[in-house]
Amino acid sequence: PDATLGVCDGNMDSEGSPGTPILPSYTSHNGYLMPRGFPVDGFVSGLKYEAKPNDLFVATYPKCGTTWMQHIIWLILHDGEMLRPHEKLTELFPHLEEVGADIVSSRPPASGGYRLIKTHLPYHITPSHPRAKYVCVIRNPKDCVVSFYHHTAGFPKHYNFSNGSFDEYFRLFYEGQVDFGDYFSCVRSWLDRRNDPNILLLTYERLRSDTRAAVLEVATFLDPKLYPARLLENDGEILKKILLHSSIDSMKKDPLRWSSERKPEHTPFIRKGSLGQWDEQLRSEQAKLLDKRMRDVCSEEELRFLGDQY
């Protein structure tokens, strides 16, 4: 994507005209869609960022555990201590294609010497360095699309989609016409690199079903000689704090640590974090379409690696 800019304004009238579906509004960077209101310069400069050896990226498609993994990493690096009242994860772990290269570069390294960076970009346009580290989380598309729909409806200033239907959003998601592009292409791009030594690929489902083991795997990836032993000493005191503070119930408290303020009538930023509850919203034929796409883009071995939710 380059600097070519357009606005995909799905709803000149947020109520929509009779018979006209309400669509989300996006900013298009030469076809790559971003939330409306994200700084144009941030996206352009973010793509030009030159990765450094001490960079630590959390790389996910949206609504696949991004904030959760950012928080887990922050807790690992800071001995399980929570963010202080004035601290915001969005500032300490900035979103590259939202804020741009200058802001990311200006952030002082966190504990452990890492510069912390969040991205939703696919691998091929994510800034790369052989010594930088990348933690990628993949979530099954059925839960992802449901969560992404609620996210989009819950941020009217970015999407103007508060009254939009799930079926219309599902169509856009399936066609790759939502912000941050096509889910399947993004997942494919990171799966292709899962054996690279500087990339750790985890599934959201594993993170939820065995958080303790996943946290220790992340800690080992960050520094095998330092963090696993530190987390486990004194009967696992630090690990217990990490598991407590990174729980969904804990993260639902004081959501302004992770997100801008939402009106009470809108879906909260931390909603359910659930596994396999997509059938509360997806129709069976929609679920089958997503399952078939996964089988089309992934090998049998890759699907086994991802797990039975795929």
Nearest to 33 by CA among 67, 1, 11: 1
Q: Which two tokens stand for residue 64?
A: 């696949």
**Which of 209, 212, 210, 190 has the alpha carbon at shortest distance from 201?**
190
The alpha carbon of residue 119 and the mean position of all alpha carbons in its chain are separated, in whole angstroms, by 7
- Alpha-carbon distance of 62 to 151, in angstroms, equals 9
Which DSSP letter does residue 139 get?
-
Q: CA 76 to CA 57: how far, in whole Å? A: 15
Give CA–CA dist 181/11, Å, rounded.
Answer: 20
88: how many CB neighbours lie within 10 A of its CB? 13
Q: Give me 9's structure tokens.
A: 């304004």
Amino acid at position 30, single letter = N
The active-site residue out of 71, 95, 120, 151 is: 120
Cα–Cα separations (whole angstroms), residue 37 to 34, 43, 87, 236, 306: 9, 11, 23, 43, 34
Give the whole-angstrom CA distance, residue 102 versus residue 107: 9
> Which DSSP string do the residues of 255-289 spell out, in sequence order?
GGGTS----TTSPPSS----SS-GGGTS-HHHHHH
Active site residue 120: yes
Cα(229)–Cα(188) distance, integer angstroms: 34
d(CA 210, CA 207): 6
The catalytic residues are 120
